[in-house]
A and B are shown apart, each in its own frame.
Chain A
């Protein structure tokens, strides 16, 4: 199996491979599982308090079964699953292959944060990948929290079946599974602080998860969720729009976005960079517009100044938070905001927050 991939490079200095560790890590029971449109991330906390995050790209490249494809897979180290009469090259290998072949597109078992209805084998493929990343429970009925997007306000999508499907799947694997809103997971990981007359109040503020399929937002007070909602047209939509206007395949757009894009140093003579910059601004303006409208419509009030915490793969482009700050300055927010804070681990924030909640569930269970 290849240990190096594009994501590794993106993760930079924080990334430490532990594949060659001889001594197995001892974990506390309680696991967080972020089932994202783009990536699957699983977090556990070791007994010394370190978070160990396992990640894998939730992406496939389909190949029809033929002599050529069998030959290609035999000669390469690409990882694949065969379902019916198709091979599906999985993870980063899918992206490498589509960029090498130069035709076709990668497919995803998920779309807009939920199972992809246009892919017939989506649940089967998704379960195959999840099982290989999450592994088996380390104690009987180990607590597990999995991410769930809120129902989007801009599309008629219901997450009930998706939630039930994942819940039943994890229970079948032997876990005591519960869903958790992904923006609330970021709240638990980043701990936004509200400044009020009573002093600093933890786990209170706005948390934003910027995924590939959706933006999720939550307003919380002392760890309790007050409002949760999501909107579509996030990272994947950005890739699609840029691909449409430039004619460059989506696979290449993803590579440029993840490896070269710096939102503070845009080369406007480069049509892909220019389009990415424009669509990033549009995406952020849309997100801020929805935050304003939803919180105003629900007459949400917070008696103090609040913090916005933000995480997720789409927020990882350098300069993202500055652009968000500018977008917020362009509107009349219903709250006094004293700071916008980017997660220390934006890519792992959701799964770490889920893990914290699962550890708390386990602690509660053991105390009974």
Chain B
């Protein structure tokens, strides 16, 4: 067990242990502080007994690292949304007003960009 655990004055509720006389301060801890403390404890355990396999404690799916490739279903879903389901009607075919502008260095920029991957 790491030094941190031996020196720790607090249990997870944030209350001072009754039998400890070295520290008289009682500090209430919020959830973030508790999580930080818990992480330090886990790290201390992992470093002290590094030859023993320790299972990671995770809070949600994201941390579990779901690396399943969902791009196929996303693409199918995108295609289904592009399909027109409702009968639409409008009083226009083309939209947009027009602005014109000139650029001095357009050709040199296109040259640089055409060499990029």
Which residues does A use to contact B, with CB under 8 Å? Answer: 1, 3, 5, 7-8, 11, 14-19, 40, 42, 45, 49-56, 73, 79-84, 90-91, 121, 123-124, 127-129, 132-133, 135, 160-161, 164-165, 167-169, 172, 188-189, 191, 202-203, 222-224, 344-345, 347-348, 352, 356-357, 359-361, 363-364, 367
**Which one of B86, B96, B107 has the highest number of Cβ atoms from chain A below 10 Å of its Cβ?**
B96
13 A-B pairs whose Cβ atoms sit less than 8 Å apart in the complex: A16-B98, A52-B98, A53-B101, A55-B97, A55-B98, A81-B89, A81-B90, A82-B90, A123-B82, A165-B81, A223-B116, A356-B110, A360-B109
Known: A203-B109, A360-B113. A79 touches B99 (CB 8 A): no
Q: Are B96 and A133 in contact (CB under 8 A)?
A: yes
Closest-CB distance, A183 to chain B (whole angstroms): 15
Pick the contact of B100: A16, A79, A83, A168 (CB < 8 A). Answer: A16
- Please classify the interface of chain A as helix (H, G, I), strand (E, B), loop, or mixed, using the class held by over half of its residues: mixed
Determine whether the beta carbon of B98 is less than 8 Å from that of A8.
no
CB distance from B21 to the nearest CB of A (A): 42
Q: Which of B12-20, B33-41, B43-51, B71-79 contacts A (4 or more CB under 8 A)?
A: B71-79
B88: CB under 8 A from chain A?
Answer: yes
Roughly how many angstroms separate A266 CA and B45 CA in the complex, as a whole number?
60
B85-117 residues with Cβ-Cβ distance < 8 A to A are 85-86, 88-103, 105-114, 116
Number of residues from B at the complex interface, CB < 8 A: 38
B84 CB-CB contact with A under 8 Å: yes
* Nearest CB of chain A from residue B109's CB, rounded to whole Å: 5
Pick from B86, B94, B97, B101: contact of A84, CB below 8 A. B86
Interchain nearest-CB distance for A292 vs B (Å):
23
Complex interface: chain B residues within 8 A of A16 (CB): 98-100
Q: When chains A and B are docked, how far (Å) is the Cα of A47 from the Cα of B81?
A: 36
Alpha-carbon distance A347/B81, docked complex (angstroms) = 30
- Contact check, A56 vs B97: say whether CB atoms are below 8 A apart: yes
Inter-chain contacts of B103 with A (CB < 8 A): 49, 51, 189, 352
Residues of A within 8 A of B88 (CB): 81-83, 124, 128
Do residues B91 and A80 form an inter-chain contact, with CB atoms below 8 A?
yes
**A14 touching B78 by the CB < 8 A rule?**
no
Closest 10 CB pairs of A and B: A360-B113, A54-B96, A132-B95, A360-B114, A81-B90, A165-B78, A164-B78, A53-B99, A133-B96, A363-B114
Distance in Å from the Cβ of B105 to the closest Cβ of chain A?
Answer: 6
Query: What CA separation (Å) do A161 and B79 show in the bound complex?
Result: 11
Closest chain-A Cβ to B72's Cβ sits at a distance in Å of: 11
User: In the complex the two chains form, is A124's CB within 8 Å of B96's CB?
Assistant: no
* Overall SS of chain B's interface: mixed
B106 in complex: contacting residue of A49, A82, A84, A129, CB < 8 Å: A49
Contact B93 A82 (CB under 8 A): no
Q: Complex formed: what's the CA distance from A50 to B102 in Å?
A: 5
* Chain B residues, Cβ within 8 Å of A83: 86, 88
The answer to whether B90 and A80 touch across the interface, beta carbons within 8 angstroms, is yes
Q: Which residue of B lies closest to A162 (CB)?
A: B78
Partner of A345, one of B78, B95, B101: B101
- Determine the distance from Cα of A105 to Cα of B90 in the docked complex, in whole angstroms: 21
- Assuming the contacts A132-B92, A165-B82, asked whether A356 and B113 have C-beta atoms less than 8 A apart, the reply is yes
B99-A11 in contact (CB<8A): yes
Chain A residues with CB below 8 A from B89, complex form: 81-82
Q: How long is the Cα–Cα vector from A116 to B95 in the complex, in angstroms?
A: 21
Contact flag A79-B77 (CB < 8 Å), given A14-B101, A16-B100:
no
Nearest CB in chain A to that of B99: its residue: A53
In the assembled complex, which residues on chain A have CB atoms less than 8 Å from the CB atom of B93? 132
Q: Known interface pairs A51-B101, A168-B79. Does A188 touch B113 (Cβ–Cβ under 8 Å)?
A: yes
Cβ–Cβ < 8 Å partners of A19 in chain B: 97-98
Q: Contacts A84-B86, A160-B74, A360-B110 hold; do A79 and B98 have CB atoms under 8 A apart?
A: no
- The interface residues of chain A lying within 8 Å CB-to-CB of B92 are 1, 79, 90, 132
